[in-house]
Amino acid sequence: MSSSPAISPKKNWKKPAIGSREIKLLEKLSNACGVSGDEGAIRKLVLNEIRPLVDEIEFDAVGNILAVKHGKGSKLPRVMLAAHMDEVGFMLTHDEGKGIFRFELVGGIDPRQLPGKQVWVGPDRLPGVIGMNAFHLSSASERSSKPELNNLRIDIGPAHAKKVKTGDRATFATSFLRTGPSLRGKALDDRLGVTTLISMLRNAPENIDLLAAFTVMEESGLKGAAVAGYTLNPDMAIALDCTPALDLPVWDGSENTLYRSIPNQGPAIYVGDGSTLGDPRLVNLLRAAGDAYKIPYQIRQPGGGGTDAGTIHRQRAGIPSISMSVPGRYLHTAISIVQLKDWQHSAALIHAGLSHVDTNLLKKPR
């Protein structure tokens, strides 16, 4: 096991702000709809924000936005930060008439989260609902079993029946809300990472060339990031994402040993998940930065799941990669909750870590 070498904090380091501007931007991004494969609305919002901030912008064949912000000097380390623009949602697959549609899930959604929800359907965000046969008319076994997608429909009402069509996407109709120390929204995963990345471009450390990838299709198989990683060809990469906080009490009062991450304990650094074994040199960098700058962090419980790092780290001859996530409760449901503090600490930690990246970092073997 490698130990994290201490780093001494830079005196002129300034914590990047996650304040009202960033929260407003997150609100706009979370309320916008960009189901995997249909990220146009998000791309537009991101472009508006980053155009004045970056030196180069490129679009690739699959819809990623690749932007470069150069540091000061030559032969700087090329550091890729990836945040995915897409979100989980639905696609209309069959028109049954009178505004009733069969649909498929895009990304990992538990069908138990579907009945009784409002949705926004199609490019015009028409209001729709996913209903449920009245429980008075359901059998006892129907009432207690897991709802099956096969039995659920998106209903937009007969009046708008011709205004949407199969192939249109839909999302949960959840408006962003700040409540106490928490932020609530439908697509915090990963508009939060997108907003953090925009903030990094605004406050880019000068010791690196910052390669920003706003990726597509993460929720349907980490697809966009594969292409982005190849194209950008960075020296190292960090995926900025959200990870489930599964820390709720266990029904019988026993200890919750599979919490994965815990809200209010800072950003979660990945040692390994289902898609990537995080590069120990980068794990140590972030841990050392957290210790040196007194920014709280946690190690995400190793286990399943995946981020854009999963496809980035195996591009070309290999790209040292790691992920860092903001813990979020109830991700991939109608409403996710994250702690503003965790988000602020995540932006601070990533920025502090990047400030200490130099060409020596990856010279030592892994």
Residue closer to another protein, measured from CB, 156 or 286: 156
Q: How far is the CB of 91 from another protein (least distance, A)?
A: 17
To another protein, the closest distance from the beta carbon of 307 in angstroms equals 19
Q: Following DSSP, what letter does each residue of 43-93 receive, concatenated?
A: HHHHHHHHGGG-SEEEE-TTS-EEEEE--SSSS--EEEEEEE--B-EEEEE
Contact 297, 345 (CB under 8 A): yes
Q: How many CB atoms lie within 10 A of CB 313?
A: 23
Would you say 40 or 123 has its CB closer to another protein? 123
Q: What are phi and psi of 346, to 5 degrees?
A: -70, -40
Choose among 78, 299, 84, 54: nearest CA to 189. Answer: 84
Residue spans of alpha helices (H) in the chain: 20-31, 40-50, 140-144, 188-202, 223-232, 280-293, 309-312, 340-355
**Tokens at 104, concatenated:** 């498929």
The residues binding another protein (CB under 8 A) are 96, 99-100, 110, 112-113, 115-118, 126-137, 143-147, 151-153, 155-160, 172, 174, 177, 179-184, 244, 246, 248-252, 256, 258, 329-330, 333-335, 337
148 given a catalytic annotation: no
CB of 37 to another protein, least distance (A): 23
CB closer to another protein, 60 vs 247: 247
Residue 251 identity? W
The C-alpha atoms of residue 213 and residue 211 are separated, in whole angstroms, by 7
Distance CA 198, CA 349 (A): 15
Q: Which is nearer to another protein, 33 or 126 (by Cβ)?
A: 126
Q: Per the residue annotation, which of 27, 87, 218, 219 is the catalytic one?
A: 218
Nearer to another protein, 51 or 143 (CB): 143
Which has the closest alpha carbon to 214: 224, 204, 205, 223? 224
Which residues form the catalytic set?
A: 218
